[in-house]
Amino acid sequence: MPTSKHLIDVFLQPGDWFVADEDYQLRTILGSCVSITLWHPPSRIGGMSHFLLPNRPTFGAEPVHMPELDARYGDEALQLIFEQLAAAGVAGAECEAKIFGGGNMFPAYIRGDAINVGQRNGDAARQMLRHLNIPVVSECLFGVGHRQVIFDVSRGDVWSCQIEPSQV
């Protein structure tokens, strides 16, 4: 009788990223943060990010100098995932992407004409992937509240459950 394979479960905190093979399941909880998953079907290798801001803040015309890449920023998280995929023999451009998060966590405090952090994060994720010609096969972005996200790297499936804040 065959036994079911037990997946290694990895939980991503804000600013984390992880590249894994089919033995893994990656999870996170997102508010205004965004998660990009990249999956390469032939090799069953994928990566997931949990970024807080689209890119590193700037002061004047120059970004703040940091000695290494920081996955708290979407553009740098994507670069880190690409590097790890390449080390595993996978070209990031051959992956398919899914995007999650960008929720409005404080709708009562956002002016009607203002773009909130979650909106900026989601828009930036779309733009980064479009710029890299990586197809987005699914997304669950924006809305109010947080999401739980689970990525089964063995099949490329991602489940997302959005939970709106309770009305008090």
Spatial distance between the Cα atoms of 130 and 120, rounded to a whole number of angstroms: 15
Q: What's the pLDDT at 67?
A: 72
| Number of domains into which the chain is organized | 1
> Mean pLDDT, to the nearest integer, of 27-43?
97
Distances (CA, A) of 143 to 26, 83, 148: 23, 32, 14
| Residue 55 domain-assigned (yes or no) | yes
Q: Is residue 85 situated within a structural domain?
A: yes
Q: Is residue 29 scored above 90 in pLDDT?
A: yes
Q: For a pLDDT cut of 90, what percent of the chain falls above it?
A: 74
C-alpha dihedral, 154 to 15 to 82 to 96, nearest 10°: 50
| pLDDT for residue 167 is more than 60 | no
Residue 37's DSSP bridge partners are 48, 98
Q: Does a structural domain hold residue 77? A: yes
Predicted local distance difference test score (pLDDT) of residue 168: 39
pLDDT (tens digit per residue) in 45-61: 999 999 999 998 876 66
Query: Does residue 156 form part of some domain?
Result: yes
Section 12-26 average pLDDT: 97
* Domain hosting residue 55, numbered range: 8-163
- On whether residue 41 sits in a domain, the answer given is yes
Please indicate, yes or no, if residue 90 is contained in any of the structural domains. yes
165 vs 125: CA distance, rounded Å: 24
Position 168 in a domain: no
* pLDDT recorded at residue 64: 58
As a whole number, mean pLDDT of residues 37-44 equals 97
pLDDT confidence of residue 6: 78
Which CATH number belongs to the domain containing residue 49 in this structure? 3.30.1330.200
Residue 32 corresponds to which amino acid?
Answer: S
To the nearest 10°, report the CA torsion of 135, 138, 142, 147: -130
- pLDDT of 89 higher than 80: yes
Would residue 36 count as lying in a domain? yes
